[in-house]
A and B are shown apart, each in its own frame.
Chain A
Amino acid sequence: MADSTSPFTDHTPKLWRRLDELNDEQRNITERAKKLFPQLTKSMLIDRRTALRLMAASAALAAASGCADNSSKASEQRMGGKSKGPVEDRYTLLNQNGTAFGVVVRTVGGNPVKIEGDPDHPASLGRSNVQAQAALLSHYDPDRIDLPRLGGKETDWKKCREFLASFSEKGIGEGLHILLQPTASPTLERMIREVKQRLPATRFYQYRPIPLNNIIPPIDYQSNNLVISFGCDFLGAGPGQVRHAADYAEFRRNDRQESKLIVVESVPTLTGAQADEHVILEPRQLEQFIQALNEGDITNIAPQYRDLANAIINEPRLLLKGNGISANAGEIAKSLGAVELQSPQLFDDSQCADISALHKALEQDEADHLMILGGNPVYDAPARLNFAQTLSRSRVASTYLGSEWNETAGLCSNYISETPELAQWGDLRSFDSSVGLRRPVTSGTGMTAIEILSHLAGIPESGEMLVRKTYDAPDLPVEQLAQKIRSSTNAANNMNPPPSGKVQKPLGIMPDNRFALVFAPSPHIWDGSLANNSWTQELPAPLTGLAWGNAASIAASTAEKLGLKDGDEIEISLDGASIKIPVIQLPGQAENTLGLPLGYGRKMAAIGSVIGHGVYALFNGNFVEQGALVTKTGAHHDLIFADRFMAADDDKAVRWVTSETEQLRRKEEAPSFFDPEYRAEKQWGMVIDLDICIGCNACTIACQAENNIPVVGPEETAAGRAMHWIRVDRYHRGPAENPDTAFQPVPCMHCELAPCEPVCPVGATTHSSEGINEMTYNRCIGTRSCSNNCPYKVRRFNWFDYQAPDRNVGMSTEGQNPRVTVRDRGVMEKCTFCVQRIEAVRLGDDKGGEDGMPVTACQQTCPTQAIIFGDLADAQSPVAKARAEPRNYSLLEDLNLKTRTTYLAKQTREV
């Protein structure tokens, strides 16, 4: 396809998806197949007789298995879906790393079935991220413990309350130590004060592995055309991701040629993937780079970065610093920053000491009772404290409030189950400091941190009353209360973070054989709190493609030096601690540096237990460490890639243009016999703007929630059977050391000349008059011919009864979307353009978007609004306008399938 006679104008150099493709010029299909499916190479050795025997046996077994009707019972159990009760949309706030994320929860008969962003909330703008979507599955966690346990024995809530009240009755709180998970809640701050008043000797501590207080507030790009990020992954996962991505997309959309983003980092991030200039330096070099900038002396800077350095020094710019650089580099960046973003202090931690003070108190046996309210310190506390050992050694009685039975719960004598997130009362500040009301959208039992503190303070009250008292509104209707809280002056603390006073140690000179470590929260399971959520576990990480596990990322050249291939295990030791973890080569990573995703390797997390490798053993609160020793252990792990098996084989899958008017389309329309008759009023279509797709995966998980898509588990994912209807493909171009990165969401293309339709023997996949490639599940007999014939590989097959209620890894029946049929075993499925939403708008059951048109789940969720869906027959609709842009093209355009889903090419700056 990439020959010189191609009818396209195109500047795209060769695209590659993985490092082994980059050097693989031959692209021999057999060789590639062997690489992709190593298990198949074994079967290639089978002789003819064995093959015949196997065929005969499988035919007999297939016939035998057809006798049992295994589906009807399951369907019966899943029924009722359509008559579950009234549909209602309810507003609340989710807690994302201690700050607010506003959502609308759709409930059917009181049960939540879908979470969408709240259009009026500053952190969500009606869109959402992976964590917000995944909160729905967490709500139906089958491992939740409903009753409290005192002294290891299950008890009732009355006894639990009496137990808590006993603290306020005896003494002044001498020996009572409370470890909090900082949460940006004014009511929590008030309750801490109340407890201190009643029990003045109580001591408070706080800990959260990903700090709450250094989050970047919304960025004002006004008048700043040059944005520089020093290790600041503002487009990466986190409570601010959606707002940052939305603002960023606006910033780039307005003037691509004038605006510029420079990212300086050691381990590639989603922000780095968007950069116009990507500076990749080892942490130590990075520190020197910033130092040189600060001194205005560019002679020490590598020649290829000197122009850039000059621009950073001399031009007006917006400077962001994040966790991807060393603490010392951060300090220098502060003094360098003409523009420095002031993050407000979201949680007033002046009343709480650090967790290391608690460690000291435990060691000196000062505590009689330790109360841990939320979090999971036994798993994620700084390694040097060895919290698990300290806690189990000391004879202190302990109580843990948590939403799941985890490592910390296992070590504490008492367990109080936390109210499910969607059933809590409370208030939360958003990352822009505005405050809002959390209110229950469904029912659930348990207690919250504020309720426990109120018992300790001797004023036991419900969460609702505690919040109302904070705002002095004991009997305001809920809507007015929410309004009052939103406009309250209590909103922000408006305190600048106190100067740390700590002298930041510069990274020393590193001996040749030592490595730098860069820690970061995992893009999907975050700090580990979402490890027991199969949606996030099965979602492939955007830059590595890894699902159900993690690996240390390493530069290809460094891996070669150490003789490492993907999946080979290394031992990393730092300051006496060591971990074992497999490696994965990552394009665009600095040499002699390891990227370590936090959150995996949980020991007690139900389905998340022993998935991936824990790295907290090396983590001491610094996101960049230096001087680690790395040795190859010789062991090998089979990494699970969810995205390896599916790809549209297109050499120009992602295209780049250098100006907005550049014509990408065929120079002249090829002659055609295709003469469609568009009978229906609406002709649905979708355009995906690759220029502003940041690869966050929110669309994939939103689609999973909306369309009752099952979870298949690690073994099946490894076999290439993940069921996601929209996948996000990742492409690179250029050298492995510093390539361009592009993301491409791939749903069903809804071809007008769909190759899947004529090969279906039973007419289960057909074309609707509105241009939707329909899938009729109850007709499908599972020949899989359609999937075989689909060049985009977007069809998914239910190899097993993934939705069986007893599998316990997916969504429970109450949480299924009643508008979408739950598929049985042996049925093909794929993207439907959210036909249930189209029908709901048509029938008047739903309002649709602002223009009254249906909105697909992926479109609604997309933080940058890169997905546009609508009516192509209306030339004035946003989708028709986007399709008419010169940047518009189809995937595998040469096949002439007349796809209804098209893409807008990425734009690059003219050099």
Chain B
Amino acid sequence: MAQIFSRSADRRLRILAGPIILCAIAGIVGLKWYVKNQEEKIGLVVAQPIEFSHRQHIENTELICADCHRGAHDGPQALLPGKSICLECHDDLFRGTPKLQPLHEAKAKGLAINWKPVSKLPEFVHFHHGVHFEANVECSNCHGDVSKMESVSRAKPLTMDFCIDCHRESQSGENSSTKQAVSWQRDLTDCSVCHY
């Protein structure tokens, strides 16, 4: 009866074993990197219904975030501005500019401007924007330096790791710039701070 494995079978296996293991490791690392990127979405630019430059609005005017994002300082959500907020200035200002035409069109037709959020958390995370402002968390900690951005892209990962790092530092006192902003001090790493 003929042998199932030839003489060289064992040798060939030894030669191949190395590359197979390497491929597997590379695959796992690659997959992890891919998943991480998918989750973090850093640098993600979201197309907006009206081309809007944060840089121009911040550099050339005295506007602060809360002038347009009306909930940013004290509300549960920062809120994306409705057309009436834009029109507070732009009803007169640069009225003829072609870039602003979608805004006036929306007003004429009674439509809402469908801004697309860039920093969005899943529905099982309860995040209170105003509390983080009260706690002296810099806007750029989560949003990057928006004042330099022509079109806003995601600057930070916004994963649970990212959130909890800051909560841990704040809890242990490593990060002295932030403070617990709410009454009734408790551990900032309790699950129910965000999940319920």
Contacts and interface: CB of A to CB of B under 8 A. Distances in A.
B196 A839 contact: yes
Interface string A51-89: 000000000000000000000000100110111000000
Interface stretch (B141-149, B151-159, B187-195): B187-195
Interface in A750-794: 766, 768-770, 772, 774-779
Given A768-B192, A832-B196, A843-B128, A680 B186 contact: yes
Given A779-B195, A835-B196, 20 more contacts: A78-B123, A679-B187, A681-B186, A769-B187, A769-B190, A774-B196, A776-B192, A776-B195, A777-B124, A778-B124, A819-B126, A821-B196, A832-B196, A835-B192, A836-B196, A842-B183, A843-B128, A843-B182, A844-B182, A845-B76
Interface string B145-187: 0000000000000000000000000000000000000111111
Contacts of A82: 76-77, 123, 126
Contacts of A75: 123
Contacts of A821: 123-124, 195-196
A820 interface: yes
A766 B191 contact: yes
Interface string B8-25: 000000000000000000
A818 to B, nearest CB: 9
27 contacts: A79-B123, A81-B123, A82-B77, A82-B123, A82-B126, A83-B77, A681-B184, A681-B186, A682-B184, A766-B191, A768-B186, A768-B191, A769-B186, A770-B186, A770-B190, A774-B191, A776-B192, A777-B124, A777-B195, A778-B122, A819-B126, A835-B192, A839-B192, A839-B196, A842-B182, A842-B183, A844-B182
Contacts of B124: 777-778, 821
Given A78-B123, A83-B77, A843 B195 contact: no
Contacts of A835: 192, 196
A678 to B, nearest CB: 10
A756 to B, nearest CB: 14
Interface string A827-863: 0000010011001001111000000000000000000
B114 to A, nearest CB: 13
A79 B117 CA distance: 14
Nearest to A766: B191
B100 interface: no
B131 interface: yes
Contact of B191 (A680, A776, A820, A836): A776
Q: Say whether chain B's binding surface is mostly helix, strand, loop, or mixed.
A: loop
Interface residues of A, number: 33
Among B128, B186, B195, B196, residue most surrounded by chain A Cβ atoms (within 10 Å): B196
Interface of B: 76-77, 122-124, 126, 128, 130-131, 182-187, 190-192, 195-196
Interface string A376-405: 000000000000000000000000000000
B121 to A, nearest CB: 9
Contacts of B185: 680-681
A772 B123 contact: no
Given A774-B196, A821-B196, A768 B190 contact: yes
A776 B126 CA distance: 12
B181 to A, nearest CB: 9
A776 B190 CA distance: 10
A673 to B, nearest CB: 22
Contact of A820 (B183, B187, B196): B196
A843 B131 contact: yes
Which are the 9 A-B pairs with shortest beta-carbon distances? A680-B186, A769-B187, A768-B190, A774-B192, A835-B196, A778-B124, A776-B195, A774-B191, A776-B191
A161 B25 CA distance: 76
Nearest to A767: B190
A682 B196 contact: no
A82 B131 CA distance: 16
B75 to A, nearest CB: 9
B186 A682 contact: yes
Among B183, B186, B187, residue most surrounded by chain A Cβ atoms (within 10 Å): B186
Contacts of A839: 126, 192, 196
A778 B122 CA distance: 10
Interface string A340-370: 0000000000000000000000000000000
Nearest to A854: B184
A779 B190 CA distance: 14
A78 B123 CA distance: 9
Contacts of B192: 768, 772, 774, 776, 832, 835, 839
A700 to B, nearest CB: 20
Nearest to B187: A769
A680 B196 contact: no
Contacts of A78: 123
Contacts of B128: 843
Nearest to A75: B123
A78 B122 CA distance: 12
Contacts of B126: 82, 819, 836, 839
Nearest to A76: B123
A819 B124 CA distance: 10
A769 B130 CA distance: 23
A530 to B, nearest CB: 30
Contacts of B131: 843
A872 to B, nearest CB: 13
A774 B195 CA distance: 9
A111 B139 CA distance: 33
A820 B123 CA distance: 9
A774 B131 CA distance: 22
